[in-house]
Structure 1
């Protein structure tokens, strides 16, 4: 038997000897037969054939995968795909356009509900498969409230939202009499979520999801990275100082914004679920209100405010005397690592030494004291306080961080902290699940009292760059710096959504060494990190951004996401002197002292009088 293969046809030539029987003798002949066997083309199969995300709280995202199998004898080509999704709550990531013979590829689909309702969608794959050209995959999911009210002694149970997503509820304060309010958040489990125990598998513990198409509410808005380049001083040559009252500072919270005026007044707008606007009331468990107009916070009139800072659920101001006032879900009101209480009007933070600067993350705050030492307080989950352990401080108040001194810059992330000393050295500590505190030195760097999650309990110097730093910024799972020598930006940590800015992004990617951000074109002078994206002020006063852009938070005029390399923010009418980045929206203070914001606007956090998202900057409208 001789076999020839040509294209998609297999030709088999069989040489047979046929014996012919006669009555008296045998005769034989040699005969040739050509048998044509058609080789099958590509054959597609998908698993599962329908994707149901189940219940997902608003503001969170769940990512699941679809396996595309090729059961045929030729490569399967995926020429196109179409997502039918009227509510824009589903997103698709497909990294290949071909599936090899007897191979499979995966499609990632993310569900990010924005309302309490049932959602439906359809993903259609257009391929050259012989069995079907169009493969339809139904998508469905149910949006749930992002916070619930329940028994203070019996919190809601954690549960697996998907194979790798763990849903947890944090106690954020009182709800109604006798009950507590629980805020939903999600954790990404590196080795999967165990559906039997509803916990992350493996010793390395959970990794918080930072890119599943968009959002996570557990975010330090700017983590202390929105300071002005300079404070206005009439002695500064060439500095524009407007006549009358003007804005001196803007800070972005997770879904709200605050500005500080030259009169020391502070005005805020956006969500008020935890009382973070400082208006004397809060939304609580009722329907979240939309507050698109700046309103004055109720700060005592005899206190001159010199700085503002926004965290995940709280707003803090520093007064001229060095005192701190906080409102919302303030870290100083946390009686343990996980519990907190809300304050709807400004309250003095007691026990703090006179301070030069304050920064707030998800559940902890830090200040630079007048002597350059560092004090931190609040939750010590994952060692964010730098005390050498992950226990809640026995005194319940501020603790001095050993190992750092003469601190000039401070950045506070989700559960990690970084301090820049006057000698240009940078130290970081806290949660290290995405290497936001740099590559682990050994396998023993875990939090013994935080379910053995990866963390660094004491300040560690960041190595790998032959330069001092002039700025540092921290996001949820990232850290970035600007080098003093050449103004370059280097980032490390999570890179699932391109937040490092090196031209690539990959699922589950994390970088433990500083990686240079590419294509900036000139020196960077100031940084601000959001949840999964970054902004930088350039030497000419322009702004560039990179990373997640689902709601236009990069301000480049589009909502294409992710953006793996820096792109310019468009439409700003003048040089920028300060920026601040949040979960999904950003703001800038221009040299002419106008304030511009862009990105998500579902609670009026852009301050333009609407609740419409914007991929390019819109000017904040202040009441006359």
Structure 2
């Protein structure tokens, strides 16, 4: 980079010298803007799926007049590259760094072109090639603390080795595989068998019991037994998905395959394919003529999707204008939310309202909400509904708003990586501050608790959880169904953040909250759930159906790894190796997607065509 700067300075000096003795007017004429770029290729290398890496390219003006960019765009079919913090002009002799983000959505190679259109004297259009690859197996982490080696199976040891950097200061690790001829146990190859040595059996990793020497107590309250399940679930998975979204009675997913198709199953209102009332479906059906989707989100009775061109589309119930089309007409096929002018980067849905984050090139992100607003859900201080998007108040000047999160009737965003700003209903302290008082505008809910950083946020109907530094989870709000993981129904409101009991020693990748239950995916790719489990949403089996399920791991199908996790009101879904979808919980409208009419599934079953 220093040689690039020297070259730019030489160009600038040369032009200045060539005009020695000229008057000011002639000097300006002879020294028009000249764009010099530091590279013609930004290579992001290999990145794990949904990890965001940033690269910068230096743009310099070697002329004397101001360099003005008429347009800065990225041409890419997949929409995985994004320009951030761009400058629209550069003074003579100055330079700026232009940042580009890459977030792979699938395990494949990506290419794009950054196009700079300016008034530079050498060319009106400058192109910079972009490339990167999304991979399942790469891990990004501390350069001094590589991932622990692990047994991939009974005879194979997986070891992670450094292979460059994901971003500056964060190393990229890729796995290598070692054959263990005598077996693999607890992250090491076993030595040759010695007849005088008897190997002990490994602990059962499937039991989440704090004291392994004490047998688990019987379930607290089995509640009403489930109605008989008279149909066997499918045994083999067949539906491959990239992302999923669960509302109260339906499920939708972005299909694996690279073209961004969406399939839905469950209640007819949100199938998106024009199905009439009563035409519910217990297997996935693809929405016709609807492609290029890379993100999907669910409300209580509606769905929304972001396409690769960063436009927003919604369908389903529209009683309060939650679809953003300035009507209250139920839409059984996707309609575009045309009132949002800037590119949409995130969307979330709640009970009859929707929020989205938009961000124009070179500008700060904005948050808009629309739909039902009587409890302050729209965040604009008015406590009234709107059929068109309204700007959320009090967030101007906030940096790095990447996602919006919604529970039932409250919403939150993370700003500056440390402030958790929430608004909406607060009757159960789900917004933490001043329980019982709804908040019409965002408030900083963790300001008093010395939180250093906030990661993923998971909002239930009446409780809230967030990941903080150290990959730990904090929760607060209603404990009526054991949402704080105390195993007891009818608990008092939790008006300060606590770590659920089962998570004291766990390192968590992500936390998700449904209606009255929560689940986590930990760093060993296991899922555990707690909270309301009468309909099997915690996935722990028939014997654990109860009103307040304590933290407990669920079974992993065929010894595979869980990769992603999603929650609805009373059902839960996850993705395993190979992108296959599994679901469990209430199945009253076929939202499990196993092709049966069983009332509920109390363990994970594969989604099938």
Q: Could you tell me the TM-score, scaled by structure 2's length?
A: 0.57
Partner of 2:300 in structure 1? 312
Instruction: Give the CA deviation at 1:515.
Output: 1.3
Instruction: Give the CA deviation at 1:246.
Output: 4.2
Instruction: Give the CA deviation at 1:332.
Output: 7.5
Alignment CA distance shift 1:237-1:281 (3 Å): closer
- In structure 2, what is the Cα distance between the partners aligned to 1:359 and 1:378? 12
User: Is 1:598–1:614's contact at 8 Å kept on the other side of the alignment?
Assistant: yes
1:412 to 2:406 alignment: yes
Q: Normalized per residue, which structure has more helix?
A: 2
Partner of 1:517 in structure 2? 500
**Which of 434, 440, 455 is equivalent to 1:440?**
434
- In structure 2, what is the Cα distance between the partners aligned to 1:478 and 1:282? 34
**3-state SS of the aligned residue for 1:556?**
coil
User: Is 1:293–1:621's contact at 8 Å kept on the other side of the alignment?
Assistant: yes
Partner of 1:593 in structure 2? 579
1:321 to 2:309 alignment: yes
Q: What is the CA deviation profile of residues 264-289 of structure 1, one whole-angstrom value per residue up to 9, with x for unaligned ones?
A: 111111111xx210121331xxxx44
**3-state SS of the aligned residue for 1:315?**
strand
Partner of 2:321 in structure 1? 333
1:268 to 2:264 alignment: yes
**3-state SS of the aligned residue for 1:376?**
strand
- In structure 2, what is the Cα distance between the partners aligned to 1:396 and 1:376? 8
**3-state SS of the aligned residue for 1:579?**
strand
**3-state SS of the aligned residue for 2:521?**
strand
**3-state SS of the aligned residue for 1:592?**
helix
User: Is 2:348–2:355's contact at 8 Å kept on the other side of the alignment?
Assistant: yes
Alignment CA distance shift 1:332-1:409 (3 Å): same
- In structure 1, what is the Cα distance between the partners aligned to 2:603 and 2:332? 32
Alignment CA distance shift 1:282-1:567 (3 Å): same
Partner of 2:107 in structure 1? 232
- In structure 2, what is the Cα distance between the partners aligned to 1:358 and 1:530? 17
**3-state SS of the aligned residue for 1:439?**
coil
User: Is 1:409–1:471's contact at 8 Å kept on the other side of the alignment?
Assistant: no
Instruction: Give the CA deviation at 1:433.
Output: 0.5
1:296 to 2:289 alignment: no
- In structure 2, what is the Cα distance between the partners aligned to 1:255 and 1:245? 19
User: Is 1:409–1:421's contact at 8 Å kept on the other side of the alignment?
Assistant: no
- 5+ residue gaps in structure 1? 1-227, 442-452
Once the two structures are superposed, the pairs formed by residues 536-551 of structure 1 within 5 Å of their partners are 536-551=520-535
Alignment CA distance shift 1:436-1:245 (3 Å): closer
Once the two structures are superposed, the pairs formed by residues 274-293 of structure 1 within 5 Å of their partners are 275-283=269-277, 288-293=278-283
Q: What is the CA deviation profile of residues 416-446 of structure 1, one whole-angstrom value per residue up to 9, with x for unaligned ones?
A: 11101242221111110111000307xxxxx
Once the two structures are superposed, the pairs formed by residues 535-614 of structure 1 within 5 Å of their partners are 535-558=519-542, 559-573=544-558, 574-612=560-598, 613-614=600-601
Instruction: Give the CA deviation at 1:488.
Output: 1.5
**3-state SS of the aligned residue for 1:519?**
helix
Alignment CA distance shift 1:229-1:421 (3 Å): farther
Once the two structures are superposed, the pairs formed by residues 170-569 of structure 1 within 5 Å of their partners are 231-234=106-109, 235-236=133-134, 239=137, 246-261=240-255, 262=257, 263-272=259-268, 275-283=269-277, 288-300=278-290, 303-330=291-318, 333=321, 340-352=328-340, 353-370=342-359, 371-393=364-386, 396-403=388-395, 404-440=398-434, 454-463=437-446, 464-484=449-469, 486-506=470-490, 509-520=492-503, 521-558=505-542, 559-569=544-554
Q: Could you tell me the TM-score, scaled by structure 1's length?
A: 0.56
- In structure 1, what is the Cα distance between the partners aligned to 2:107 and 2:416? 23
- In structure 2, what is the Cα distance between the partners aligned to 1:276 and 1:335? 12
Alignment CA distance shift 1:334-1:360 (3 Å): closer
- Number of aligned pairs? 369
**3-state SS of the aligned residue for 2:297?**
strand
Alignment CA distance shift 1:316-1:372 (3 Å): same
Instruction: Give the CA deviation at 1:236.
Output: 4.5
Instruction: Give the CA deviation at 1:364.
Output: 1.3
- 5+ residue gaps in structure 2? 1-102, 110-132, 139-237
Q: What is the CA deviation profile of residues 101-122 of structure 1, one whole-angstrom value per residue up to 9, with x for unaligned ones?
A: xxxxxxxxxxxxxxxxxxxxxx
- In structure 2, what is the Cα distance between the partners aligned to 1:323 and 1:417? 21
**3-state SS of the aligned residue for 1:398?**
strand
